[in-house]
Amino acid sequence: MTKRILITGASSGIGREAALALAGKGHELLLLGRREDALASLIDECREGTAVPFDLGDIEGIPGLVSSLRADGRYPVLVNSAGIGGFGLAAELDWAVVEQQIRINQLAPMRLTQAMLPWMLEAGGGQILNVLSIAATSVLAGCSAYGTSKAALLMFGKVVSAEYRRKGIKVTNLMPGATDTPIWDGSEGGPDRSQMIPSDVVGATIANVIERPHTHNMDELVLMPTFGIL
Ligand SMILES: NC(=O)c1ccc[n+]([C@@H]2O[C@H](COP(=O)([O-])OP(=O)(O)OC[C@H]3O[C@@H](n4cnc5c(N)ncnc54)[C@H](OP(=O)(O)O)[C@@H]3O)[C@@H](O)[C@H]2O)c1
Does this model's pTM top 0.95? My answer is yes
- pLDDT tens-place string over residues 190-202: 899 999 999 999 9
Atom of ligand 1 nearest to the CA of 17: 16
In one-letter notation, the amino acid at residue 228 is: G
Q: Return the residue whose CA atom lies nearest to atom 21 of ligand 1.
A: 12
d(CA 127, CA 120): 8
Q: Return the residue whose CA atom lies nearest to atom 36 of ligand 1.
A: 9
Dihedral angle, C-alpha 190, 192, 195, 200, nearest 10 °: 70
d(CA 133, CA 87): 14
d(CA 25, CA 104): 29
d(CA 14, CA 201): 9
* Nearest CA among 160, 186, 187, 164 for reference residue 173: 160
What Å distances lie between residue 47 and 53, 84, 158, 204, CA to CA?
A: 18, 27, 35, 18
Atom of ligand 1 nearest to the CA of 82: 24
Strand partners, 175: 222
d(CA 7, CA 196): 23
- pLDDT tens-place string over residues 162-218: 999 999 999 999 999 999 999 999 888 889 999 999 999 999 999 999 999 999 999
Q: Which portions of the chain are predicted below pLDDT 70?
A: none
d(CA 73, CA 131): 26
* Residues 6+ away with beta carbon under 8 Å from 54: 32, 33, 34, 61, 65
Burial group, residue 133, by CB count within 10 angstroms (0-12, 13-18, 19+) = buried
Active site residues: 146
Q: Where are the beta strands (DSSP E) in the chain?
A: 3-8, 28-33, 50-53, 75-80, 126-131, 169-176, 179-180, 197-198, 220-223
Atom of ligand 1 nearest to the CA of 14: 16
9 within 8 A of 82, measured Cβ to Cβ: yes
Ligand 1 pocket, Cβ-based, cut-off 6 angstroms:
9, 11-15, 33-35, 38, 55-57, 81-84, 104-105, 131, 133, 176, 178-179, 181-183
Please, what are the domains in the chain? 3-223 (3.40.50.720)
3-class state of residue 185 by DSSP: coil
Dihedral angle, C-alpha 155, 217, 111, 84, nearest 10 °: 70
